[in-house]
Structure 1
Amino acid sequence: MSVARVRDAYAARAGEYIAVVGSIEHAADQDREYVLAWARGVGGHIIDVGCGPGQWTNYLRERGVDVEGVDPVPEFIDDARRRYPDAAYRIGHADRLDVEDASLGGVLSWYSLIHTDPDEIDALLTEFARAIRPGGGLAVGFFEGPEPAPFDHAVTTAYFWPVDLLSSRIEQAGFVVSDTQTRTDPGRRRHGAITALRRH
């Protein structure tokens, strides 16, 4: 699915999305702990790719992490700047991070690749690898499933990923996977998380 279609789909429902999931309190406690522990172990600047209305960026910033939020939806960036004025946000997208090679300590991609067609995800992972310094970190949150199959997400088509297959694609892009997790919370789709280090 094209960047423009995903952006427009979220822009059309930005207010609803922000109300439902736009605060860090909407995130599971174990996800907050997981992401914060990962971020604190990353040296250097982190980009929160697909930051949405900025809740994760601000959560990490408040805890001393050097982080910047990037999202293609102007409505999200405007809301993030209004609600979290002390954090840094800009319009951008995962396929072009607009940073120097090997300049980042890490990339947080928490549910920001879920609308990417499986045939197109390698290009985004390669861009992350280009931007992250050797030894830097990547953290990915996603919907876990038995195959890379589409489903009807509330906003626009999204994809399930088997944790082993997505891990393999991440490693092919230039990373070494350091941790994987899956769980199913009551009333929710199955959650997956992967952390990885940029290969030297």
Structure 2
Amino acid sequence: MTEPVYVTKTRTAYDTVADSYAETLKDALDASPWDRAMLGTFAELVGETGPVGDLGCGPGRLTGYLASLGLDVFGVDLSPGMVDAARWAHPQLRFEVGSLEALALDDGGLAGALAWYSLIHTPPELLSSVVAELARVLAPGGRLLMAFQVGDERRHISQGYGHEVSMDAYRLQPDFVAGLFTAAGLDVEARLVREPEPPHEKTPQAYLMARKPS
């Protein structure tokens, strides 16, 4: 099966910027109480009920943070470069190369799934199948937390973290994402929209948390 062009472009772009991305954002969580609040709530609700997947983990900065909160967490990312950076930064944790479109995980195997800006490169018309895949790997009672930029437009990215790249990113409306969750059989529990935090953000940011019914 031929890989979609957007997947290839996304992998290539993140392989290109992996080391610069990891260095630039390594301490970003320290300056974002809203991010920490949502991740902390997610960690408290999931607790020790089972494994958690940081799906689209990048260099593993949030994987490491969730582990520090006591979760049994591992990371998956499309980019081998990002996975290498994550393994270097967090050698005690497990990281694997994989695609969110077809996760190499059993049905119902996760107590929690984190999709932190990892669905923003998927065209909106294709997101329903990706969200359904995330729902598939959640156990009954398991939770999904997603973060994304708010808006309606497609943005082409040609420069990133000091490198030339070529990929698209999509801004999404919370109601649209909530509808995808509902269609996948998940119950939306919470949503938060906040103003952008400079210097890395230019648009409002959203978080949605959902639970798979028991």
CA spacing shift, 1:179–1:157, aligned 2, 3 Å: same
Give the CA deviation at 1:191.
Answer: 0.2
Q: Could you tell me how far apart the structure 1 residues matched to 2:100 and 2:144 are?
A: 13
The within-5 A match list for 1:15-54 is 15-23=19-27, 25=29, 28-42=32-46, 43-54=49-60
- Structure 1, unmatched stretches of 5+, are none
SS in 2 for 1:59: helix
Q: Could you tell me how far apart the structure 1 residues matched to 2:26 and 2:141 are?
A: 31
Q: Can you list the C-alpha shifts for 1:45-91, whole angstroms capped at 9, x where unaligned?
A: 11000000000001111221111011011111111111111111111
Question: Aligned pair count?
Answer: 198
Give TM-score scaled by structure 2 length: 0.87
Q: Which residue of 1 aligns with 2:211?
A: 197
Q: Aligned pair 1:184/2:195, yes or no? A: yes
SS in 2 for 1:2: helix
Report the more deviating stretch, 163-172 or 26-35. 26-35
Runs of 4+ in 1 over 2 A off after TM superposition: 22-27, 152-156, 185-188
Q: Can you list the C-alpha shifts for 1:135-162, whole angstroms capped at 9, x where unaligned?
A: 11000000012x3x20134543111111
Letter aligned with residue 25 of structure 2: V
Residue of structure 1 aligned with 2:146, choices 140, 155, 173:
140
Q: Could you tell me how far apart the structure 2 residues matched to 1:26 and 1:126 are?
A: 32
Give the CA deviation at 1:186.
Answer: 4.3
Q: Could you tell me how far apart the structure 2 residues matched to 1:195 and 1:123 are?
A: 18
Q: Can you list the C-alpha shifts for 1:20-40, whole angstroms capped at 9, x where unaligned?
A: 224454661220121122122
Q: Which residue of 1 aligns with 2:163?
A: none
Give TM-score scaled by structure 1 length: 0.92
Q: Could you tell me how far apart the structure 2 residues matched to 1:7 and 1:88 are?
A: 20
**Matched-pair contact (CA < 8 Å) for 2:18–2:85:** no
Q: Aligned pair 1:8/2:22, yes or no? A: no
Report the more deviating stretch, 86-95 or 23-32. 23-32
Q: Could you tell me how far apart the structure 2 residues matched to 1:35 and 1:93 are?
A: 22
Q: Which residue of 2 aligns with 1:164?
A: 175
Q: Could you tell me how far apart the structure 2 residues matched to 1:26 and 1:9 are?
A: 26
Q: Could you tell me how far apart the structure 1 residues matched to 2:113 and 2:125 are?
A: 21
Letter aligned with residue 119 of structure 2: L
Q: What percent identity do the matched residue pairs reach?
A: 32
The within-5 A match list for 1:119-134 is 119-134=125-140
Q: Could you tell me how far apart the structure 2 residues matched to 1:143 and 1:4 are?
A: 22
**Matched-pair contact (CA < 8 Å) for 2:112–2:144:** yes
SS in 2 for 1:80: helix
